[in-house]
Amino acid sequence: MLLDYKKDFIQFLLDNGALKFGNFTLKSGRKSPFFMNIGDLNDGAQLLTLASAYVDAICDHFGPEKMNPDNPPFDVLFGPAYKGIPIAVATAMQLELRYGLTVRYCADRKEAKDHGDVGSFVGAKLKDGDRVLMIEDVTTSGQSMDETIPLIRGYAETNDINVRVVGLVVSFDRMECAPEDERKTALATVGTKYGMRVISIASMEDACEYLAAEDPLPDETVNAINNYYRQYAPVGRREGEMYVK
């Protein structure tokens, strides 16, 4: 049974056109019957709701007892450029408003700055002992983590400090197999590779369950979704149906 915050989030995505169905060509070249674009959530009200959903997922997975201002479960939210930056900022604000958790935000630059505030990062300076929670929009291949986590580790090594990445939170898990391991989803592979907890606000499985109960999709779309996952779901999950009527 879906938790209420997941239901609310899926409906929010649908209402605002961030989750849509049709025929789409992904960056990978795959032809997909659905598309998820957090970039479509770009006004103040939408960002507030989006960040609140991130906080719901964080609280759900870390546990409400951990949402303690005196002992938060992490110190820094890191938003990979570019889409992760506004999400990390907005989520830090919602953590402050809802739980009184004061956490810093940091982000990477696509190109290191060589004047003024030099370096590869913007926002908070990483400090010895920092626990970093990564904030990402959607993970399809895990490429952004392969780019940003080595930057964080390299910075820590260069500055002789201990910085630990404790987890990754994404808005939506497409639940497709990883390019390098077809037995696992891309999100699960990232977690294993970097030894961290991975969290999604909702997944495609959640969305299909919600839609089947609340607002059934046309048969043509349902068939397209199920056919897509017979090809791209992790091995072992390709025989079932993602969308069960």
* Residue spans of beta strands (DSSP E) within 80-229: 104-113, 119-123, 131-139, 164-173, 177-178, 181-185, 197-203
Active-site residue flag, 7: no
CA 186 to chain centre: 12
Q: Are 208 and 70 in contact, with CB atoms under 8 Å apart? A: no
Distances (CA, A) of 152 to 82, 108, 123, 141, 194: 16, 9, 13, 19, 12
Active-site residue flag, 113: yes
Instruction: Compute the radius of gyration of the chain from its Cα atoms.
Output: 18
CA 14 to chain centre: 17
Which entry of 115, 125, 193, 245 is annotated as an active-site residue? 115
Q: Which residues pair with 139 in a beta bridge?
A: 173
Which entry of 20, 31, 113, 245 is annotated as an active-site residue? 113
CA 10 to chain centre: 14
By annotation, the residues acting in catalysis are 113, 115
